[in-house]
Chain A
Amino acid sequence: MLINSIGFWIFFAVVILVYYMIRNCRWQNAWLAIASLVFYGYVSIRLLAFFIVIIGLFYVLAIGIEKKLTQSATIARWLKVAGVGAGVGVLIYFKYLNFFIAEFTALLTGMGFAVNTGTLNIIAPLGISYFTFKLISYIVDVANEKIQAEHDVVKFTAFVAFFPTLMSGPIDRATTFLPQLGQLRKLLPGNISDGSLRILWGFFMKACIADRIAPYTDAVFNNISHHNATSIALASVLYLIQMYTDFAGYSHMAIGVGRLLGLTVTENFKQPLFAVNGGDFWRRWHMSLSFWLRDYIYIPMGGSRCSSLRSYFNVMVTFIACGAWHGASWTYIIFGAHHGLWVIVSRIMKVPRERLESRHGLLKHSTWFKSLRIVINFVVCCVGAMYFRANSMAHIVVAWKKWLSSDWGMPYLEATVPLFTFGLLSILIMIYKEHRDEYGGKALFMHSSHRTMRLVCIAATIVFIVLTGALESNSFIYVQF
């Protein structure tokens, strides 16, 4: 049951109707928890029991840590380690075990040993990467006394299993989400309009851009050796836009649904296509994950408060973890390492750039210089997108071989009419909106202060989506993680 399916919206209509009929915050939480578990069970009834056990385990662990904090710090620390270990262990078992077995077997075979190990038949629970990160951050925050352990199991379940963010994030933190569940939520006009507009914009990004691009990128990346360097370059550029609009589209919808339920969900994107360097990009892209990695991996390792070399090492480890979070494949590791390297290069370049800017005062405020930095960052991120989308390491090698050869020519343009008409128009609309969001300016169109203008624009957006969007979408890219 995907967020852009009719089934989801019927389910949501029932949930919200009952939700606002309840006049008690505890019962609202109970209803939210039940709805979320039903949602989970609908997708995978077999793994529902496992999900409930995991929630129960972390609930008990956090209370245990809280109790032991005042009695024995050592036991509390061990409980924290156990909690983090359980979270990481679950992730390793479900997502990486088969990868490790396959790689180990390949290594032994390469060394000349005759090994014949099969892989295990493991089905990863839905949203495992998201809820384990939520739970790990919760346990660490309780152990670090940033928050108190939640004693209300219903409220805790509603937080962990919150259905709009269960499949694809954003990864909410207990520090910001749990306090919201302590108050009665009322249906407020502001929430209805804000939530609905976020959902509408999410649909626009998904249907009019991401799903319009998908056939092209699939055609190129699934047959990479049959395409020339120009097609692969074009597909890489388009895939970065597809990734962004697919995931940001989902995030907008999830945030909008949360808003309709009277809850503020963490923001996940902030105009990442306008980032000027690697660090800036990751402060705008998949923010709930990048800030999680910063707070629970990078900073505990020493962050940037150490020698430059050590700090670069920390960055690299954090970004490789970021890549590995996406899945058990070398292509994701390369994706992470590529971005880690780019962040390091951006840091190294900071001093000479600032020196240049101070020598030529105009550069600092030059639109051209900033645009140039945005373009360079965009190109680097497009290469990262290619690593992310490549079906295997061999495909990455093929892509680089083609880019470095003279295999440039006319790109593959078959069956791209909807992409280069409706899709291109939609991309321009999105860039225009993001530009206004980034650099300010009078609120226009759907956010116009003029009521008639606003309502007409909302209606026009709906008409545009239904008439031109790719409406038969199967899935979201980030649901698989």
Chain B
Amino acid sequence: MKKVIVNILIVLAIVVACDIVAGFVGDSILMSTPQVGMLQTDAHQALFKKKADVLILGSSRARHTYQPKMITDSTGLTAYNAGIDGHGMNYALIVMQSFLERCKPQVVLLDACAAMVTSEWLDNSIDDVKHFYGLNAPLTNYVSEYGSWQLQAKLHSNLYRLNSTPVWMAKARALPVHDCDGYVSQHGNLADTAIVNFTNFETNEIQVKCFEQIIETCEKNNIKLMVYIAPSLEVTAKFQRWMKVFAQRHHVTLYDYGCDPFFFNNRNRYFNDSDHLNDLGARIMTNIFICDAKTLLK
């Protein structure tokens, strides 16, 4: 029995040593990963590097809709699109808090969709950036406040935190460096598609709290918050009603283009797929935002 215990201790010691080494090596590679336009490198840029006067937050709908270059050309304000596919309000909050550590944006454009305030993307949002735990203060604070005890326990391991990162880190180093503003254009044209109505909608407490924290932080830092609902053929009327009430309660300006007839009537022209605008649609939507922002900033 003594031999078995000694063996177990030796194995544990080797694993712990590997964990420590992996932490050092992994972090240094992680923090020096170049910007190549991959989802993971975009998250790295948003959490650690970028500065902008106009910060765009949201999910894939934000990522494929708002064009920072157009905003800069038209307003003279620098802009960065930090929207990432399948990420909720919790991720938006972490990005905004990370930005505030480096600079203070004048305007925050938050593009909201139903999945961002439900539990659908609650875990994804953190899983995709968990390797930055301990390196990024807002993320670390979020996990301590909202993460389950299992997640907190597991994140003490560097190996767990860095799980699956070697592949994308290697891929990122193989791709050419290109400094992008976060916007990803899509050039498809939707074939005839009907509007789909979703009836299920139930908010998640943590996501709503994060949304409220975004509003509070903007208020405290005197940042103009503009909440948008971008056009989509996947309509959740319950969400739109909820947003209206929520925005009124928190005195936030809501720009709801979710069911905008202009986009709906020309859906074959402006949509890439049922939930995302194509580049042409994105240009129009960005122009709408620019007009709204100019009015607000006056």
**8 Å CB interface, A146-202 against B:** 187, 189, 192-193
Q: Does B277 contact A (CB under 8 A)?
A: no
Contact A466/B159 with A417-B168, A418-B167 known, Cβ cut-off 8 Å: yes
Check A468–B166 contact: CB distance below 8 A: yes
Tell me the nearest residue of chain B to A196, going by C-beta. B8
Q: Which residues of A contact B153 (CB under 8 A)?
A: 6
Assess whether A417 is in contact with B15, with CB atoms less than 8 Å apart: no
* B157 interface residue per 8 A CB criterion: yes
Tally inter-chain residue pairs, CB-CB below 8 A.
56
Q: Quick one: CB contact mask for A445-468 with B, threshold 8 Å, 1 for yes?
A: 000000100011011001100111
Number of interface residues of B (CB under 8 A): 26
Q: Which of A189, A418, A421, A469 contacts B1 (CB 8 A)?
A: A189
- Within B1-40, which residues are at the interface with A (CB < 8 Å)? 1, 3-4, 7, 10-11, 14-15, 18-19, 22
Q: Determine if A468 and B7 form an interchain contact, defined as CB atoms under 8 angstroms apart.
A: no
- The answer to whether A462 and B163 have CB atoms under 8 Å apart is no
CB–CB B163/A468 < 8 A: yes
Q: Is the interface of B mostly helix, strand, loop or mixed?
A: helix
Q: Are A455 and B160 in contact, CB atoms less than 8 angstroms apart?
A: no
Contacts of A417 in B (CB 8 A): 167-168, 171
Collect the chain A residues with CB atoms within 8 Å of residue B19's CB.
463
Q: Interface readout for A1-43 with B: 1 if CB under 8 Å, 0 if not?
A: 0000011000000000000000000000000000000000000
Interface residues in B138-177 by Cβ distance below 8 A to A read 150, 153-154, 157, 159-160, 162-164, 166-168, 171
Cβ of B101 < 8 Å from any Cβ of A?
no
Is A422 a contact partner of B4 (Cβ separation < 8 A)? no
Kindly list chain B residues whose C-beta atoms are within 8 Å of the C-beta of A467: 22, 159, 162-164, 166
Q: Which residue of A417, A418, A458, A459 has the most chain B CB atoms within 10 A of its CB atom? A: A459
The answer to whether A193 and B166 have CB atoms under 8 Å apart is no
Q: Choose from B11, B22, B123, B162 the contact partner of A455 (Cβ within 8 Å).
A: B11
Question: Chain B residues with Cβ under 8 A from A6's Cβ?
Answer: 150, 153-154
B residues near A418, Cβ cutoff 8 Å = 164, 167
CB-defined contacts of B168 to chain A, threshold 8 Å: 417
A: interface residue count bin: 20 to 34
CB of A414 closer than 8 Å to a CB of B: no
Flag whether B127 is at the interface (Cβ < 8 A): yes
Main secondary structure of the interface of A (DSSP, over half): helix
CA distance A458 to B1 in the complex (A): 18
Q: Are B157 and A422 in contact (CB under 8 A)?
A: no
Binary interface profile of A, 188-228, with partner B (CB < 8 Å = 1, else 0)?
Answer: 01001100000000000000000000000000000000000
Q: Does A471 contact B (CB under 8 A)?
A: yes
Partner of A422 from the list B18, B22, B159, B164 (CB cut-off 8 Å) is B164
Residues of chain A within 8 A (CB-CB) of B10 are 455
What per-residue 1/0 map shows which CB atoms of A359-385 lie under 8 Å from chain B? 000000000000000000000000000
Distance between Cα atoms of A472 and B123 in the complex (Å)? 10
CA distance A418 to B166 in the complex (A): 10
Residues B127 and A193 in contact, CB atoms below 8 Å apart: no
Q: Which residues of B contact A422 (CB under 8 A)?
A: 164, 167
Q: Quick check: A193 and B159 within 8 Å, CB to CB?
A: no
Closest A-B pairs by Cβ, 5 of them: A459-B14, A466-B159, A189-B4, A463-B18, A459-B11
